[in-house]
Amino acid sequence: MHRLDETVAQHANEVFALLAELVRADSTVGHEQAAEEVLAAALEQLGFTVERLPIPEGIGADPLAGVPQQSYAGRYDLVARRPGSDPSAPSLLLNGHIDVVPVEDADGWTSPPFAPEVRDGWLFGRGAGDMKCGFAMCLLAIRALDEVQPGWQRGDLTLIAVIEEECTGNGALASIRAGVTADAAVLLEPTDLELLLAGIAIAWIEVVIEGRAGHAEASGRSGNPILAAEPVLAGLRWLETRMNADHRVDPDPAFADIESPYLVNVGRFTSGSWASSVPQVARIDVRVGHPAAWSAEQTLEQVRTAIAAASHDDSWLGEHPPTLRLNGYRAERYAQDPDDPFVRRFAAAHEAAHGSTTPSVSIGATTDARYYVNQAGIPALAYGPRVQNMHGVDEAVELASVVDGARTLARFLADYLGEERA
């Protein structure tokens, strides 16, 4: 395998250039196509046949779908297939998401978020870490294997770049409903070269507080929805505390090592248009990590109850209770069995590449692996490079870890898809 590692290193700068091109293509939700086409061209050069899989407009009616954020017209998953030489050999799916989260304040970045820049061995840019670096890692692994072991691939290999992993999961769900699956799946998410096996359930909820618009002079007689939000936020904090206190008494085994897996994040608060006017409405977008026993709809009711309890002394909210609705993720909890032979083989590939073991971990977040584990019924894990500041200012990936991850992935691909077994 020494030659394989040398070949990975030799082609590293090529994929770093591809990664920069992917980051340069702003692929926030609804604008994914430019980045998808950059990736499509790279995959075609490696002998993949590329399909553009439309997302049905009615996907939101699927009970496992997230609540759609916008139209799916003209939007698609990118599905790339490369058949193996033996139809009876195991097949593998490599999954990544092409969408990235928005940039709140580009002026706060050291360099522009969609102008990738390398500093001290890290490539900076929105999506560099989450998770375009994973595509670079896997293409580097495949490129090196093709050169070192021509004809190595016995099993079918599919790579999919989905949309909306960051808000609904509907891209991955649509692909599974269309039959895009395999015997196992590796998600190319950034994991610090650890094996990510489990994620919590998550619901996105919109809270709307009605006020009574008016002049600031009459603010004492008006209902200001910004001020009315204080008990609403208190109710959310109380719910988070309660969920995690219950977890510490009776933990979900998959997350027993996490003291507080269920976090409630207030991600957006919008209200008002003028300093001398009382706003008419306030909107709060909340991400609620919740126990597996609750459905998204039950979580919505838990939030409603917590807000009502915290607001019982507020006269305005008593007469004008907030309205709540699901608005995005309705994600189920998932947990991959760490003793599955697929997981053990991947762990062995990491150890062979690096001379040491890597831990299996869980997170208080989610990935599209939930659909493969829960719905497709296939083993799935996430593995990828080392990153910093995901979703934040100066997001970046450590380029050396892209190479390190490719060394692991190349060994795993050669083992899982290439080795003949009795």
In sign, the C-alpha dihedral spanning 317, 227, 269, 363 is negative
In angstroms, the CA 363 to CA 252 distance is: 12
In angstroms, the CA 66 to CA 353 distance is: 38
At residue 106, the 3 state secondary structure works out as: helix
To the nearest 5 percent, what fractions of the chain are helix, strand and coil?
Answer: 40, 25, 35
Tell me which H or E stretch contains 53.
Answer: strand 49-54
pLDDT category, 217, cuts 50, 70, 90? confident
Amino acid occupying residue 170: N
User: Is 415 in contact with 154 (CB distance < 8 Å)?
Assistant: no
In angstroms, the CA 53 to CA 17 distance is: 27
Tell me: the pLDDT tens digits for 265-274? 999 999 999 9
Candidates 3.40.50.300, 1.10.1060.10, 3.20.20.210, 3.40.630.10; CATH matching 2-199+333-418: 3.40.630.10
How many CB atoms are located within 10 Å of the residue 120 CB? 8
The mean per-residue pLDDT over the stretch 377-402 comes to 98
Tell me: the pLDDT tens digits for 301-313? 999 999 999 999 8
360-363 vs 380-382, strand pairing mode:
unpaired
The mean per-residue pLDDT over the stretch 29-47 comes to 98
User: How many residues belong to the chain?
Assistant: 422
340 burial level (CB within 10 Å; 0-12, 13-18, 19+)? middle
pLDDT category, 132, cuts 50, 70, 90? very high
Q: 3-class secondary structure for 310-373?
A: HCCCCHHHHHCCCEEEEEEEEECCEECCCCCHHHHHHHHHHHHHHCCCCCEEEECCCCCHHHHH
User: Is 360 in contact with 79 (CB distance < 8 Å)?
Assistant: no
The mean per-residue pLDDT over the stretch 111-119 comes to 98
User: Is 381 in contact with 362 (CB distance < 8 Å)?
Assistant: no
The confidence score (pLDDT) of residue 332 equals: 98
61 burial level (CB within 10 Å; 0-12, 13-18, 19+)? exposed
pLDDT category, 1, cuts 50, 70, 90? low
* H-only helix segments in 67-214: 133-148, 170-177
In terms of Cα–Cα distance, which of 157, 162, 103 is closest to 128? 103
What are the extents of the domains in the chain?
2-199+333-418, 201-331
Tell me: the pLDDT tens digits for 89-105? 999 999 999 999 999 99
Tell me: the pLDDT tens digits for 365-384? 999 999 999 999 999 999 99
User: Is 97 in contact with 162 (CB distance < 8 Å)?
Assistant: yes
CATH number of the 201-331 domain: 3.30.70.360
Please identify which residue in the block is written with the tokens 């269920």. Answer: 262
The confidence score (pLDDT) of residue 422 equals: 37
Give the alpha-carbon dihedral of 178, 189, 146, 143, to 10 degrees: 120
CA atoms within 13 A on the CB side of 216: 6
CA 112 to chain centre: 23
Does residue 21 have a pLDDT over 80? yes
Q: DSSP letters along 183-247, please?
A: S-EEE----TT-EEEEE-EEEEEEEEEE---EEGGGGGGS--HHHHHHHHHHHHHHHHHHHHHHH
- Within this chain, domains 2-199+333-418 and 201-331 share the same CATH topology: no
Structure tokens at 217: 């002079």
Tell me: the pLDDT tens digits for 250-298? 999 999 999 999 999 999 999 999 999 999 999 999 999 999 999 999 9
Percent of the chain with pLDDT over 90: 95
The mean per-residue pLDDT over the stretch 213-242 comes to 90
The confidence score (pLDDT) of residue 218 equals: 74
In terms of Cα–Cα distance, which of 369, 375, 364, 367 is closest to 343? 369
In terms of Cα–Cα distance, which of 386, 343, 231, 239 is closest to 298? 239
In angstroms, the CA 369 to CA 131 distance is: 14
The confidence score (pLDDT) of residue 2 equals: 83
Does residue 421 have a pLDDT over 70? no
The mean per-residue pLDDT over the stretch 329-342 comes to 98
If you average pLDDT over every residue of the chain, what do you get?
97
